[in-house]
Structure 1
Amino acid sequence: MAREPQRIRRRERKNITAGVAHVNASFNNTMI
């Protein structure tokens, strides 16, 4: 994981964006 930070960083960026949106939607639903 720490050996290829460039590859992980690129994949994490896309994953984080989708993950954050999913988490935000779930959090909003739970709060409502």
Structure 2
Amino acid sequence: MAVQKSAKKTTIRRRRERKNIEKGAAHIQSTFNNTIVTISDVYGNAISWASAG
């Protein structure tokens, strides 16, 4: 029997681009079990979010 070699797939990772946003809003959703903070631009597009809970 012949042994087949498996080829490794290489993935190219791109560097994150820094976004310069002058104005935005922080949306805070607080419940009994969790708190979610979302940072968005003036159009409402989410830039970043975090959960503490």
TM-score class, shorter: under 0.3
Q: Which has a greater percent of helix? A: 1
- Between structure 1 and structure 2, the one with the greater Rg is 2
Q: Which has a greater percent of strand? A: 2
Q: TM-score, normalised by structure 1?
A: 0.22
